[in-house]
Amino acid sequence: MRTTTLVLLRHGQTEWNDTGRMQGQADVELDAVGVEQAHAAARTLGGRDFTAVYSSDLVRARHTAEVVAGDLGLPVVLDHRLQEINVGSWSGLTRREIEVEYPGFAEMYFAGQDFRRSATGETVAEMVARVSPAIREIVDRHRGHEVLVVGHGFCFAQLAQHLVGIPAQSRILGGLRNGHWSEIGITDDDVAWVISHNVPPHLHG
């Protein structure tokens, strides 16, 4: 039976990552560290036999994908469904600032409860319902091959858990760090498992 391998790569660092601000679907560019992380990921992943590269259309993910895909000689296929969770009016705020608007946010998060990110944002369940069809299409299109998918840390950690049957908002797998990736194997009968998680790129070389 064939195995399809998904490598879920988080984008490089942005200034908002560095200052601890929620990004969600805000279109924030990579900073200098993030660009280097993208190139480091390209060096580390360059020997893999990817058949395709997909990416969230947010600029931080797209830029990271273009760097890696350029080294692989592959085009980048953009899909807006791969965007990070929508945090609504929390975008640009620190967790301390969010606690003022939404008391109890931290307690709910660390207790593993699902909740809406501000009045105009998404729940984890809604995000997974948005992202999952895109991943399903990618897997069906590339059965038996390796595929690189570039996107966002919280989204990809929750997606990886969903694929292997872990409930939404669980924190069994930590969020992906900038420039790190998770690798998921999926058989033809859709049995999925985590091969590795939070794999770092080689920063020098």
Question: Known catalytic residues?
Answer: 11, 84
Q: Enter the tokens of residue 38.
A: 């993208």
DSSP assignment letter at 30: B
Is the separation of the CB atoms in 75 and 106 below 8 Å? no
Whole-number Å distance between alpha carbons of 12 and 158: 19
Whole-number Å distance between alpha carbons of 67 and 40: 10
* Alpha-carbon torsion, ordered 119, 125, 127, 133, to 10 deg: -150
Whole-number Å distance between alpha carbons of 147 and 106: 35
Whole-number Å distance between alpha carbons of 165 and 149: 20
Contacts of residue 100, defined as CB under 8 A and 6 or more positions apart, other chains included, come to none
Is the separation of the CB atoms in 14 and 86 below 8 Å? no
Whole-number Å distance between alpha carbons of 188 and 19: 42
Is the separation of the CB atoms in 139 and 187 below 8 Å? no
